[in-house]
Structure 1
Amino acid sequence: MSSSLPPADASIDRRMIFLLALTCGVAVGNIYFPQAVSPLVASGLDVAPNSAALVVTAAQFGYAAGNFLLVPLGDRFPHRPLVVAMLAVTGAAMLGAAGAPGLGALVAASAVAGVTTVVAQVIAPMAAGLVAAERRGAVMGTLLAGSIGGILLARTFGGLAGEWLGWRAPYLIAAAATLAIAVALAFALPATDPPSRQSYPALLAAPLRLLREEPELRRSCLYQATVFGGFQAVWTGLALYLTGPEYGFGAQAVAVLALVSAGTMAATPAAGRQVDRRGPDPVSLVAITGTIAAAGVLALGALGGAPGLAALGAGTLLLEIAMQSGMIANQARIFALRPDARSRINTAYMTCAFLGGSTGSWLGAGACTRFGWTAVCALVALLACVALARHLLRRPDRADHLGNAEAKAPSRS
């Protein structure tokens, strides 16, 4: 079958890249603002903080399920109706969460929203197919910067709006933003033809087959699952730590601390350019070692007071930069493997990443409540050391320049 991918750079310009980055931010923000809201949910629904953290975990596991169940459809259906439909369902789920009468209903609505708010993972492979290979790292960095902006603003507005207006307000605002962006994309997204005519069961089986066949995909999945697991452990535990007896802050503290990580928005496009110039592996190594360093800095948050807060701010900034830089390197590596199956490859990658993130979120909440903040930091370092060991044991091969090599290779069809 001949590839029906659109010609590179034929359907995308800077304005469209900006809109896609905004969409990524709106979508990804839906699974991150609950991290700042969970202490308010605990008090508002009169449940234990550990139980309220299940809202965060449910959204993360839902996101992992959405990556497996829905992202492969990006290789089977035109992107515009697929993305708009997913955003519409997400908006409806957010409205359901805002009106949830109890924790069980809220957890269920959060899981549904997590499943359908995976549009960023449909957009990323779509955009990768619409730009030339030499621009791919920079474009992925721009899209990821949009996602980072969504993460930062989501935590900030979630904490502030929840503190001022109650925990239901962030869900209502998220629903309105998601539905608005769905309407905009219904008119603005370029028309694309699906590169595959495979059945849905075949599409679901493809990520597992690709994981078996592509060692570089397995390696990238391990990197992101471990680093992202540590990242999620920190932010889930941080909300409990800052609002607990050690610091005694409100939800606004999480919102303010999230703004410290705004520097990541400038760092990730630079990481994308480094991937274009040097290949993904050097950037992956920096990301993994940066995560280990971040764990050490974050551990100093146990000092308390101003020194502790400074350490938490510096550590979260370093951790965000490391995690997002690693994401760019990993996606550049995997998108160069099978140009005709990018959505299915991204499915395998993001499912593994968010299974790691969901597990990290759950472990982080348990570690913080049972053993304290230092245990969370030790968990982050341990997970990153697993990735570092795998990186050091890799075989020297084409991986170092895989992101650039695709420009010279014919597409597999």
Structure 2
Amino acid sequence: MSDPSAGRSAVPDGARVSRRVILLLAITCGVAVGNVYFPQAISPTVAAALGVSPDAAALTVTAAQFGYAAGIFLLVPLGDRFPHRSLIVTLLGLTGLGLLAAGAAPTLGPLVGASALIGITTVIAPIAGPLAVGLVAEDRRGAVSGTLLSGSIGGMLLSRTLGGTVGEWLGWRAPYLIAAVLALITAALLWRVLPRTSPPSRQRYPALLAEPLRLLRAEPELRRSCFYQAMVFGGFSAVWTGVALLLTSSAYGMGARAVGALALVNAATMLCTPFAGRQTDRRGPDAVNLVSLLGVLAAAAVLVFGGLGGALGMGALVVGTLLLDLGMQSGMVANQVRFYALRPEARSRLNTAYMTCGYIGGSVGSWTGARAYAAFGWPAVCALVALLTGAALVRHGFATRRKRLAVMAPVRRAAEPARSAAP
């Protein structure tokens, strides 16, 4: 079913827009995404404080990630239907309330429920991405996607650092309360600064919900991007869930603050994603995807040595997680550039399909990683990363071979009459 408003500009010409707005959107992405990731650093603290097992406390992480996937599917399509400013501000306000509820949770059950609510409502980055690429010229979309992704990475990494440090000093409730204040302050700032936009679609909500599934069926390049992200993000989530358990185990004997410190080392990836975006603009998404997947596979090999403990093990964790973060984030830039170009009037719905698949993969990876660690130890987590990345590389090989054959087919057809005419 065609959208009657397809082709209308989502943003008035006067709103094509200052770098200050792009920077603010990047910071907003960091504030929102951090709400999904700081529980990874404090789950051992939650386990000790509430008297539950580490595996049980890790449910707060899994609930937030499953909630995020649900929020992407249920709420991000509204970015094509409602003005971005009011939608983003409303979701940030609801996230702040969910964080306050989590900080006041008396037992694990309410905390897991509040974590799911936080995940559902903190889906700001997938809404801000389509808004931002609509504010700039086509040849800057990779760079802008990289800038917003840098903000998300900053939130992902700094939230683990601050969450682990604050949780160890002030208890596990403090990170939730601080995150609530940040969400509410950011909502107030955005209401003043974001430009007014006109949504590109007038479709009803049920049609918007069905559209991502239809786009997945109709767009092979979207399906490919989704598969890459689900596999790599699954491995990424497995590692960071397992790292919290490894560093607080007898192999290292460290606290939650160590998880945050390790994440802070990887802040270098914030500087690399704009570069990945420029390379994608120049060389195309496939080339960047290949390098990214190979980097993740190398990360799995390096991370195995993290289980040795001591200085050698810590060095392996630093180098391995840095490679992992670089590969995952650079690949995400390439994927977004690929599918944003498919249908400009449906970018939020395309992003819904992509991010839902990615976070389902991440949620399953987090759950599987915790259980692999409990059953077989750290090497099993690294093997899981290698297995998932290998699947993505195989898919990439088939896709590039098909493209090569499609390019060569007209040449071969043109050559056939010449060969048949030869004596």
Letter of the structure 2 residue corresponding to residue 309 of structure 1: M
- Alpha-carbon distance in 2 for matches of 1:151, 1:177: 14
Match for residue 223 of structure 1 among 211, 219, 228? 228
Q: Aligned AA for 2:48?
A: S
In the alignment, does 2:85 pair up with 1:93? Answer: no
Task: Provide, for residues 183-236 of structure 1, a one-character-per-residue CA deviation record: whole Å limited to 9, x for no partner.
Answer: 000111100000000000000000000000000000000000000000000000
**Is the partner of 2:403 in helix, strand or coil?**
coil
Residue 160 of structure 1: aligned partner: 165
Partner of 1:406: none
2:198 is the alignment partner of 1:193: yes
Distance 1:105 1:9 in 2: 46
Q: 1:6 deviation in Å? A: 2.2
Alpha-carbon distance between aligned partners in 1 of 2:145 and 2:138, rounded to the nearest angstrom: 11
SS at match of 2:24: helix
Matched, 1:146 2:151: yes
Q: Distance in 2 between matches of 1:50 and 1:399?
A: 49
Alignment pair present for 1:77 and 2:82 = yes
Match of 2:9 in 1: 4
Q: Aligned residue for 1:245?
A: 250
Structure 1 residue 382: Cα displacement: 0.2
Secondary structure in structure 2 of the residue aligned to 1:194 = coil
Within 1, Cα distance between the matches of 2:354 and 2:26? 20
How many matched pairs? 400
Q: CA deviation at 1:299?
A: 0.5
Q: d(CA) in 2 for partners of 1:12 and 1:352?
A: 31
Q: Is the 8 A contact 2:35 2:159 kept in 1?
A: yes
SS of corresponding position for 1:246? coil
The aligned counterpart of 2:328 is 323
Match of 1:52 in 2: 57
Alignment of 1:179 with 2:184, yes or no, is: yes
Picking from 260, 282, 291, the partner of 1:286 is: 291
Q: Percent identity?
A: 66
Structure 2 residue 375 is the aligned partner of structure 1 residue 373: no
Aligned counterpart, 1:33: 38
Deviation at 1:7, TM superposition (A): 5.4
Query: Alpha carbons of 1:179 and 1:358: their partners in 2 closer, same or farther (altered >3 Å)?
Result: same
Do residues 169 (structure 1) and 166 (structure 2) align?
A: no
Do the aligned residues in 2 keep the contact of 1:31 with 1:59 (CA within 8 Å)?
Answer: yes
Deviation of 1:304 (Å): 1.4
The question of whether the paired residues in 1 share the 8 Å contact of 2:150 and 2:269 is answered with yes
Corresponding position of 2:128: 123
In structure 2, C-alpha distance between the alignment counterparts of 1:50 and 1:239, rounded to whole Å: 11
Q: What is the CA distance between 1:58 and its match in structure 2?
A: 0.1
Contact persistence 1:333–1:399 (CA under 8 A): no
Say whether the 8 Å CA contact 2:12–2:197 is kept in structure 1: no
Q: Any conservation in 2 of the 1:122–1:343 contact (CA below 8 Å)? A: yes
Asked if the contact 1:281/1:399 (under 8 Å) is kept, the reply is: no
Deviation, 1:262, is 1.1
Per-residue CA distance 1:340-384 (angstroms, 9 max, x = gap): 000000000000000000000000000111110000000000000
Task: Show structure 1 runs of 5+ residues with no match.
Answer: 401-413
The corresponding residue for 1:346 is 351
The one-letter code of the counterpart of 1:396 is K
**Which runs of at least 4 in structure 1 moved beyond 4 Å after TM superposition?**
397-400
> Who is 2:318 aligned against?
313
Equivalent residues of 2:285, 2:335 under 8 A apart: yes
Q: Is the alpha carbon distance of 1:266 and 1:19 closer, same or farther for their aligned partners in structure 2, counting shifts above 3 Å?
A: same
Q: 2:403 aligns with which of 376, 396, 401?
A: 396
How far apart in 1 are the matches of 2:324 and 2:12? 37
Q: Which residue of 1 aligns with 2:210?
A: 205
The structure that has the greater radius of gyration is 2
Task: Please tell me the residue identity of whatever aligns with 2:65.
Answer: Q
Return the TM-score normalized by structure 1: 0.95
The answer to whether residue 395 in structure 2 is matched with residue 386 in structure 1 is no
Letter in 2 for 1:36: A
Of stretches 389-398 and 157-166 in structure 1, the one that deviates more from structure 2 is 389-398
TM norm structure 2:
0.93
What is the rounded CA distance, in whole Å, between the counterparts of 2:224 and 2:96 in structure 1?
A: 34
Structure 1 residue 398 displacement after superposition: 12
Letter in 1 for 2:155: G
Match of 2:410? none
Code of the residue aligned with 2:46 in structure 1: it is V
Q: Distance in 1 between matches of 2:38 and 2:47?
A: 15
| Mapped partners of 2:208, 2:405: distance in 1 | 27
User: Is the Cα contact below 8 Å between 1:367 and 1:375 reproduced in 2?
Assistant: yes
Amino acid aligned to 2:132: A
Query: What corresponds to 1:14 in structure 2?
Result: 19
The Cα RMSD (Å) is: 1.4
Q: Is the 8 A contact 2:79 2:127 kept in 1?
A: yes
Q: For residues 87 and 397 of structure 1, do their structure 2 counterparts lie closer, same or farther at Cα, with a shift above 3 Å needed?
A: farther
